């Protein structure tokens, strides 16, 4: 690709902040559009949010005490002697923060504000690492809300259209771990949502093979565990699993976890409709019962709520946890997967304990099986009206393709914290024209 010409430059789209920024950064404290949080940096976890809350007329209301990555697991699926052992715990083995790279060029908008962080050399000497975090606001390209009343169009004195521009606050870092580059974003919105976003790019790990194309004699054998992404280069099939630890404190430390099951109960024979679905809330009482494997056959709203605070309609104030359905395709008794047993559930919920931080346990280099979350739930503690922690997984099964070569296009995955009856109405209703 050395002789490939780049396409003509595009006319620029300006990103600017001519009147300054809308957030206030005071030390580690950030305030923006009702949101307040502490931002810190950890050599293992990267960017960490603490004391996340939202300002309302009732005062500063807590949402979560801490939100941070808990572990990454990237296993390759090839039994070749040079590949079978490649199952990486990228965060625990290398340190997501340790691998943070200096942000530059297109990593952040031109108007972003950059922050330095403190890392340490091998002998423990502090080292100031330049521009490892950026903070910026941007227009996501869609309104915060909109409505049109076409039936009233043309009536004098009646405004038929209302819409409000949206703005988001993004806290970003990028870690380069081996061949992959990972963006870790926390995205705050004006309607009370918080998106935990992981963007994967960089290079596929390529295995040398004899086949040049699928017409080559060895192609059938060579491509059993991956895709030819270039002549003699096989992109090996693998997974990306990202675990995030969310220490909820919704309107206080005493919270509950409820599965709001969606289902279609039988209707009376004379009912005008037979196809009616309803919601059946099921509060979860203990850690083992809280393990959740996402299923299209049994959909549910996963709700974390206060044990006593209610909104104006009388519902418990809460936040809904939304995540993709990433399910392992192999037996959990695989030697690598025993050490990452948390991937067998999209969600775990535990009672808070100070030293329970990492989904695969404190050590991961050559670690023993069953550490971390399997240990944490052995005592099966009660999680009702308690300080509880959610462990949510996102990620993807990576089947390589030619478009991954020579550099993989950015792949976006998200966990979303969405207010559910935390407010009395849409918190973005008061946005100005």
Helix then strand then coil, in percent of the chain rounded to 5, is 10, 45, 45
- From the list 54, 76, 94, 180, the catalytic residue is 180
Indicate the burial class of 71 (C-beta count within 10 angstroms; 0-12, 13-18, 19 or more).
buried
Q: Cα–Cα distance between 30 and 32 in angstroms, integer?
A: 7
Is 90 a residue of the active site? yes
Which of these is catalytic: 65, 76, 88, 90?
Answer: 90
In angstroms, rounded to a whole number, what is the distance separating the alpha carbons of residues 108 and 283?
Answer: 42
| CB-based contacts of 114, cutoff 8 Å, min separation 6 | 103, 108, 130, 131, 133, 134
For 180-197, give the DSSP string: EEEEEEEEEETTS-EEEE
For residue 90, give the 3-state DSSP assignment.
helix
Contact 93, 365 (CB under 8 A): yes
Beta bridge partners, 283, equal 258
Q: Could you give the count of Cα atoms lying within 13 Å of 359 in the half-sphere of its Cβ?
A: 33
Beta-strand ranges (E) seen in 57-112 are: 59-75, 87-88
Q: How many whole angstroms separate alpha carbon 243 and alpha carbon 159? A: 47
Q: What are the catalytic residues?
A: 90, 180
């Amino acid at each position: 690709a050395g002789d490939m010409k780049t396409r003509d430059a595009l006319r620029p789209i300006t990103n600017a902040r001519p009147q300054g920024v809308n957030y206030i950064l005071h030390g580690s404290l950030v305030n923006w559009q009702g949101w307040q949080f502490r931002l810190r940096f950890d050599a293992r976890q990267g960017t960490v949010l603490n004391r996340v809350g939202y300002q309302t007329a009732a005062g500063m209301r807590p949402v979560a005490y801490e939100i941070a990555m808990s572990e990454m697991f990237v296993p390759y699926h090839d039994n070749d002697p040079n590949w079978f052992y490649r199952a990486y715990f990228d965060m625990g083995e290398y340190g997501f923060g340790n691998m943070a790279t200096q942000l530059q060029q297109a990593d952040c908008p031109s108007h972003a504000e950059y922050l330095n962080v403190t890392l340490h050399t091998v002998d423990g000497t502090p080292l100031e690492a330049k521009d490892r975090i950026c903070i910026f606001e941007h227009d996501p390209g869609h309104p915060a809300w909109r409505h049109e009343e076409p039936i009233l169009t043309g009536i004098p004195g009646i405004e038929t259209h209302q819409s409000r521009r949206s703005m988001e606050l993004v806290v970003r870092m990028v870690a380069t771990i081996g061949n992959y580059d990972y963006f870790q974003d926390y995205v705050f919105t004006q309607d009370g949502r918080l998106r935990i976003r992981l963007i994967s790019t960089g290079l596929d790990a390529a295995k040398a093979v004899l086949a040049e194309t699928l017409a080559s004699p060895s192609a059938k054998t060579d491509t059993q565990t991956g895709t030819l992404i270039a002549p003699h280069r096989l992109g090996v099939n693998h997974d990306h699993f990202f675990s995030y630890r969310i220490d909820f404190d919704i309107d206080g430390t005493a919270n509950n976890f409820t599965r709001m099951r969606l289902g279609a109960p039988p209707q009376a024979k004379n009912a005008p409709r037979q196809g009616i679905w309803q919601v059946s809330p099921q509060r979860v009482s203990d850690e083992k019962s809280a393990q959740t494997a996402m299923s299209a056959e049994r959909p549910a709203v996963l709700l974390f709520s206060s044990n006593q605070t209610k909104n104006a309609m009388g519902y418990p104030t809460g936040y809904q946890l939304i995540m993709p359905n990433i399910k392992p395709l192999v037996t959990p008794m695989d030697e690598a997967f025993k050490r990452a047993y948390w991937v067998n559930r999209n969600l775990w919920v535990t009672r808070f304990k100070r030293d329970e931080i990492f989904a695969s346990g404190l050590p991961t280099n050559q670690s023993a099986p069953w550490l971390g979350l399997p240990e944490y739930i052995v005592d099966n503690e009660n999680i009702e009206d308690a300080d509880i922690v959610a462990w949510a997984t996102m990620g993807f099964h990576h089947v390589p393709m030619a478009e991954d070569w020579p550099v993989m296009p950015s792949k976006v995955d998200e966990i979303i914290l969405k207010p559910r009856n935390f407010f009395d109405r849409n918190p973005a209703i008061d946005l100005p024209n």
